[in-house]
């Protein structure tokens, strides 16, 4: 079972690029890496998912090194509305025990 470790909190400023790294040393061969954003009193919102190398969509990029023991979520040009908790999730279809880490509280300042 993979277990994730993320920084508890991070601060940044509007317009900056923010990178949040997640460690998952025990990731299994068939595990995907998924990132979610959560605002208070709401369900998590899917941001991006990847298996290896780099994935990019309209809101973020996900970098995964060859050993897959970590991953980095990159948010370009953040705004105040990006202030939220970000979770890294590692899991696969056959593994129902999808383990959520503590998440990273990201605070964006003006």
Partner 1 sequence: GAVVSQHPSWVICKSGTSVKIECRSLDFQATTMFWYRQFPKQSLMLMATSNEGSKATYEQGVEKDKFLINHASLTLSTLTVTSAHPEDSSFYICSARAQGDQPQHFGDGTRLSIL
What does the binding site for partner 1 look like in residue numbers (CB under 8 A)? 32, 34, 36, 41-46, 49, 87, 92-94, 96-98, 100-103
Residue 21 has which token pair?
């790294």
CB 93, min distance to partner 1, A: 2
CB 106, min distance to partner 1, A: 15
CB 30, min distance to partner 1, A: 9
CB 79, min distance to partner 1, A: 22
- Toward partner 1, which CB reaches closer, 9 or 16? 9
Q: What is the DSSP string of 6-54?
A: --SEEEEETT--EEEEEE-TT--TT-EEEEEEE-TTS--EEEEEESSEE
Alpha-carbon gap, residue 43 to 47, rounded angstroms: 13
- Toward partner 1, which CB reaches closer, 77 or 107? 107
- Toward partner 1, which CB reaches closer, 96 or 110? 96
108, 20 contact by CB (below 8 A): no
Residue 39 has which token pair?
């605002």
């Amino acid at each position: 079972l993979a277990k994730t470790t993320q920084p508890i909190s991070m601060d940044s400023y509007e317009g900056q690029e923010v990178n949040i790294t997640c460690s998952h040393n025990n990731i299994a061969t068939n595990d995907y890496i998924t990132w979610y954003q959560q605002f208070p009193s709401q369900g998590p919102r899917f941001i991006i998912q990847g298996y290896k190398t780099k994935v990019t969509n309209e809101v973020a990029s996900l970098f995964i090194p060859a050993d897959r023991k970590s991953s980095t979520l990159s948010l370009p040009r953040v705004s105040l509305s990006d202030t939220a908790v970000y979770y890294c999730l590692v899991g696969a279809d056959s593994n129902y025990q999808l383990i959520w880490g503590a998440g990273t509280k990201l605070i964006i300042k003006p």
